Amino acid sequence: MHIPFDNSYATLPEAFYSKLAPTSVKAPKLLAFNEDLATLLGMEGASNDEVTATFSGNKIPQNSDPLAQLYAGHQFGNYNPQLGDGRAILLGEVIDTNGIRRDIQLKGSGRTPYSRGGDGRAWLGPVLREYLVSEAMHALGIPTTRALAAVATGEDILREQGMLPGAIVTRVASSHLRVGTFQVFAHRGQLDDLQTLTDYAIARHYPDANGPMDLLRAVCAAQASLVAAWMSVGFIHGVMNTDNCSIAGETIDYGPCAFMDDFHMGRVFSSIDQQGRYAYGNQPNMAIWNMAQLATALIQLSQDKDAGVEEATAIIHAMPDQIEAAWLARFAAKIGITTATETDRELIQALLDLMQTDGADFTNTFRALPTATARDQFTDRDAFDAWAQTHTARIASEPDPTATMNTVNPAVIPRNHRIEEMIEAATTGDMAPFERLSTAFATPYTLTDTDLANPPSEAEIVPATFCGT
C-alpha cells in the first residue's frame, strides 16, 4: 500500500510534539474503510491486511513520521496548561487530489507523553460514532474532519461502564491545529514558537492573511460560518473546549455530540455538561468565547500591545453580527427564502417558538414545510396554520422555494437512538446497523430509508451521551 506522505508538522521545532510510534495491538480487525476518501488521499494498492495493519498502528507505513502533538486548552472554561494528543498519533500528511494538505491521524492508538492518567485508548462505541457522524456531516456539506478507517484492537479496555472492546479511528483533517495549540505557547511565553505556529497556520490555511490579527479575522469568519451550519441541522457538539476548536474551521472531536430530535434551544446531551455551557442555543456564544481565547494568545505577538488589544477586540466584537448573518442565511433557506430580510428573521423565530412550545421534531418539521404534512408536527395546529399563511405569502415571490428547502433540509440525520442502537449491535459483532446508517447518511437530502427518518418513540429516546470515550 502506498500513502504519498508529505509531512510538514514533523519539520517544525521539537517543542511542538513528541515523536513516537503507535502502540501495537493484539488482534486487529478492520471494521470500516472509506474507499472514496482513500482515493481522494491518493492511496493506492491497499490490501485488506495492509489497511488493517496500518490503521491499527501495528505497521508504520513508509514515509510516515509519527508524532503526538502538544496543545493546551480551556475545558469547560478552566485552563488546562498541558493536554496534547493523549491517545492520538499523527502518521503524517498527504496532499490530496484536490491539492489540499490533510493530516492522517490515529485516535485510540496508545499512550503518549501527554496521556496523563489515561490509557491512550478508545472504545468501539465512540469510534463508530465519530466515523458515522463525521461522514454524515461531510455529506450534509458541513466542514468536518473525516473518517478513513475503524479497526477493532482485539483488546478490552476499562471504562465506567466496565470492560469494553477497544478500537481505533483514523481521522483525516485539513489540520489538527487548535485554539489550544496557540494557547500553550502563549501561556508559556514561548513567543518564538507562537510566531512559528502563526506563520505555519497562515501558510497552511489562510495564505492571504497578513499577520496574527488577520489570521484571527479569518478563523473567526470560519468559526462563525461553522456554528451557523451546526445550528441549521440541529447539531450539538457537546464539548466546545478550546482544544476541540479547529483553526481550519472544521468540526472536530465527536465525543458526546448529538443531533436533537424535538426542538429546544436549551437541549444538552453530554452527561458531563451539567451547566448547559454547550447547550444547542449557547453554541454561538461559545464559539465567540473560544475566539476570544485565540485573540488573547495572538495579541502577544503584537509589537504595540494597546493597538493589538484594540484590533483584536474589534474583531471579536464583530463576531455576533457575523454569526447572525450566517444563521439568517441558513435558516432563511430552510424556509425557502433565498435572500433574507430583517422581517424574515421574525418569521423564522416565530416558527422556532412554535416548534419549541410543541416539541416539534426539528428535522422533520423543516423537511415537511413544502408539503401539507408540516402541520402534523404541531399540537397547536391553528397556530401553525396562521404562521404557514404568512409564510406562503412570503415565499410566493421566490423562484423555487421547494427546491431551496429540499437542498438544505435533510431528510435523514444521525439520530441519537439510531447511533446507540448501532453501537450496541457492533459491540456484539453485528455491523449491519453500521452499514445501514452509513449508506443512508451518505445522501442525507434524499430519503432512501424511510424508517431512519422517524424520531424515537418515547421508549427509544436516548437523552444523554456519555463522555467515557
Q: Candidates 62-70, 253-261, 396-404, 425-433: pick the segment binding Mg ion (CB under 5 A).
A: 253-261
* Residue of the chain from 93, 253, 262, 311 that contacts Mg ion (CB under 5 A): 253
| 232 touches Mg ion by CB under 5 A | no
Residue 193 interacts with which of ligand AMP, Mg ion, none, CB < 5 to 8 Å by class: none
Q: Candidates 78-86, 191-199, 224-232, 375-383: pick the segment binding ligand AMP (CB under 6 A).
A: 78-86
User: Do residues 34 and 148 lie in contact, with contact meaning Cβ atoms separated by under 8 Å?
Assistant: yes
Q: Which three cell numbers stand for residue 205?
A: 490555511
| 253 touches ligand AMP by CB under 6 A | yes
CB of 124 to Mg ion, least distance (A): 18
Q: Which three cell numbers stand for residue 411?
A: 431528510
Residue 262 interacts with which of Mg ion, ligand AMP, none, CB < 5 to 8 Å by class: none
The dihedrals phi and psi of 38, each to the nearest 5 degrees, come to: -60, -40
Q: Choose between 243 and 262: whose C-beta lies nearer to ligand AMP.
A: 243
Handedness of CA 320, 321, 325, 326 (dihedral sign): negative
Residue type, 283: Q
Q: What is the distance, to the nearest Å, from the Cα of residue 209 to the centroid of all Cα atoms in its chain? A: 24
Q: Choose between 151 and 301: whose C-beta lies nearer to ligand AMP.
A: 151
**292's torsion region: left (phi>0), alpha (psi -120 to 50) or beta?**
alpha
CB of 118 to Mg ion, least distance (A): 12
Site string for ligand AMP, 23-62 (x = CB under 6 A): ----------------------------------------
Residues 197 to 216 in contact with Mg ion, rule: CB under 5 A: none
**177's torsion region: left (phi>0), alpha (psi -120 to 50) or beta?**
beta
Q: Choose between 52 and 244: whose C-beta lies nearer to ligand AMP.
A: 244
| 120 touches ligand AMP by CB under 6 A | yes
**Whose CA is closest to 28, among 115, 209, 120, 149?**
149
Burial classification of residue 190, based on how many CB atoms lie within 10 Å of its CB (0-12 exposed, 13-18 middle, 19 or more buried): middle
Q: What is the distance, to the nearest Å, from the Cα of residue 448 to the centroid of all Cα atoms in its chain? A: 24
Q: How far apart are CA 453 and CA 253, in angstroms?
A: 25
Site string for ligand AMP, 210-249 (x = CB under 6 A): -----------------------------x---xx-----
Point out the residue whose Cβ comes nearest to Mg ion. Answer: 253
Active site residue 253: no
Point out the residue whose Cβ comes nearest to ligand AMP. Answer: 118
Q: How far apart are CA 426 and CA 346, in angstroms?
A: 45
Q: Choose between 427 and 454: whose C-beta lies nearer to ligand AMP.
A: 427
Q: How far apart are CA 54 and CA 41, in angstroms?
A: 15
**120's torsion region: left (phi>0), alpha (psi -120 to 50) or beta?**
left
| 85 touches ligand AMP by CB under 6 A | yes
H-type alpha helices, 206-318:
212-232, 283-299, 305-317
Residue type, 9: Y
* Residue of the chain from 54, 244, 300, 404 that contacts Mg ion (CB under 5 A): 244
User: Do residues 107 and 55 lie in contact, with contact meaning Cβ atoms separated by under 8 Å?
Assistant: no
- Indicate which residue of 85, 193, 243, 358 is catalytic: 243
Residues 402 to 461 in contact with Mg ion, rule: CB under 5 A: none
Q: Choose between 3 and 25: whose C-beta lies nearer to ligand AMP.
A: 25
Q: How far apart are CA 206 and CA 318, in angstroms?
A: 19
Residues 97 to 116 in contact with ligand AMP, rule: CB under 6 A: 114-115
Residue 121 interacts with which of ligand AMP, Mg ion, none, CB < 5 to 8 Å by class: ligand AMP
Q: How far apart are CA 360 and CA 136, in angstroms?
A: 23
By the criterion CB under 5 A, which residues form the site for Mg ion? 244, 253
Catalytic residues, which ones? 243
Residues that bind ligand AMP (CB under 6 A): 83-87, 114-115, 118-121, 239, 243-244, 253, 255, 469
